């Protein structure tokens, strides 16, 4: 494999118990901002743990929906989404500053992420919110999706994301979690998919879900496979 660089990220601060172990393996952390999971205490603790491990910290905003962990689409106007994202970024950015950490990126969560991948109006609302919050923040979105286009249109650094542990449809979209086979349970398959994405330069960051049943196993095996393939694993801030 040609020499390449990739970021390895995980969604954290969601009360799943794997964060500390994942921080030894990933290079970027998407921290829940309280809308779908987490609160001020968990944001602070997660940011501190990431700082100690040298892991880049980003915001992980979502629909305001703790009942379904932010995984159900909501009827919400672009203006409300803009406000939601601005409020969540402001909340976590304030805590990060107090902890001596600068936010590096924003990655929407769950249903909001998936809607932004296909709906330009929602993607635009998120991009506008990120730019208004801090134009130096990178915006992470599904490779090939509308969020990438919106980020670039608003002058933001767009980071194309791929998934090791999610199944894809032929058109490049993710298989919805509501469908059978949406989550990849086999570590070899997950690693092979991730390596293929790196080889083909499909994305700049690979996501491993911190709440997945096999999150740690997948992360360890993927990190080892990337090292063996000569791929440099670096945070979004330095990639």
In terms of C-beta density within 10 A (0-12 exposed, 13-18 middle, 19 or more buried), how is residue 167 classed?
middle
Instruction: Tell me whether residue 83 is in a domain.
Output: yes
**Cα dihedral 209/112/239/88 (nearest 10):** -100
Domains identified in the chain, total number: 1
What are the tokens at 169?
Answer: 């449809």
Instruction: Tell me whether residue 239 is in a domain.
Output: no
Instruction: Tell me whether residue 51 is in a domain.
Output: yes
pLDDT at 236: 75
* Cα 76 from Cα 81, distance rounded (Å): 7
Low-confidence winner among 36-45, 66-75, 124-133, 229-238 (lowest mean pLDDT): 229-238
- The domain in which residue 28 lies consists of 5-233
pLDDT at 16: 86
What predicted TM-score, i.e. pTM, was given to this entire model? 0.95
Question: pLDDT grade, residue 3 (50/70/90)?
Answer: confident
Q: 3-state DSSP call for residue 92? A: helix
Give, rounded to a whole angstrom, the gap between the first and last alpha carbons of the chain: 18
Identify the bridge partners of residue 10 per DSSP, sorted by sequence position.
29, 208
- Give 49-91 pLDDT, tens digit per residue: 999 999 999 999 999 999 999 999 999 999 999 999 999 999 9
Instruction: Tell me whether residue 78 is in a domain.
Output: yes
* Cα 151 from Cα 156, distance rounded (Å): 5
Q: How far is CA 7 from CA 4, 57, 169, in A?
A: 10, 12, 23
Instruction: Tell me whether residue 238 is in a domain.
Output: no
For residue 7, which of 111, 178, 162 has the smallest C-alpha distance?
162
What are the tokens at 133?
Answer: 């919050």
Identify the bridge partners of residue 29 per DSSP, sorted by sequence position.
10, 57
Q: How far is CA 177 from CA 152, 168, 239, in A?
A: 28, 11, 30
Gyration radius (Cα) of the chain, Å: 16
The answer on pLDDT for 111 being more than 90 is yes
In terms of C-beta density within 10 A (0-12 exposed, 13-18 middle, 19 or more buried), how is residue 22 classed?
buried
CATH for 182:
3.20.20.370
What are the tokens at 98?
Answer: 């107090």
- The b-or-e profile of 199-223 (16+ CB within 10 A means b, else e) is eeebbbbbbbbbebebbbebbebbb
pLDDT at 213: 64
Strand runs labelled E in 20-137 = 28-32, 56-60, 105-106
pLDDT at 177: 87
Q: What percent of the chain has pLDDT over 70?
A: 96
Query: What is the CB neighbour count within 10 angstroms for residue 45?
Result: 17
pLDDT at 238: 53
- Give 160-216 pLDDT, tens digit per residue: 999 999 999 999 999 998 899 999 989 999 999 999 999 999 999 999 876 666 778
pLDDT at 1: 44
Question: pLDDT grade, residue 239 (50/70/90)?
Answer: very low
- Give 127-167 pLDDT, tens digit per residue: 999 999 999 999 999 999 999 999 999 999 999 999 999 99
* Cα 60 from Cα 43, distance rounded (Å): 11
């Amino acid at each position: 494999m040609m020499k390449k660089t990739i970021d390895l990220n995980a969604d954290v601060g969601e009360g799943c118990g794997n964060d500390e172990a994942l921080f030894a393996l990933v290079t970027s952390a998407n921290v829940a901002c309280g809308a779908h999971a987490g609160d001020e205490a968990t944001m602070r603790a997660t940011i501190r743990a990431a700082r100690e491990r040298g892991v880049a910290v980003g915001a992980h905003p979502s629909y305001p929906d703790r009942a379904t962990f932010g995984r159900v689409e909501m009827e919400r106007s672009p203006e409300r989404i803009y406000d939601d994202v601005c409020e969540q970024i402001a909340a976590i950015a304030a805590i990060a500053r107090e902890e001596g950490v600068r936010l590096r990126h924003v990655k929407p969560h769950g249903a909001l992420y998936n809607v932004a991948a296909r709906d330009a109006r929602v993607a635009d609302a998120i991009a506008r919110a990120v730019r208004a919050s801090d134009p130096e923040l990178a915006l992470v979105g599904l490779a090939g999706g509308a969020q990438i286009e919106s980020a670039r249109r608003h002058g933001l650094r767009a980071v194309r994301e791929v998934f090791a542990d999610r199944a894809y449809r032929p058109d490049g979209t993710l298989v919805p979690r509501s469908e059978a086979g949406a989550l990849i349970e086999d570590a070899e398959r997950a690693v092979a998919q991730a390596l293929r994405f790196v080889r083909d330069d499909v994305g700049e960051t690979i996501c491993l879900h911190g709440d997945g049943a096999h999150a740690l196993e997948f992360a360890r095996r993927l990190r080892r496979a990337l090292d063996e393939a000569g791929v440099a694993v670096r945070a979004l801030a330095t990639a």
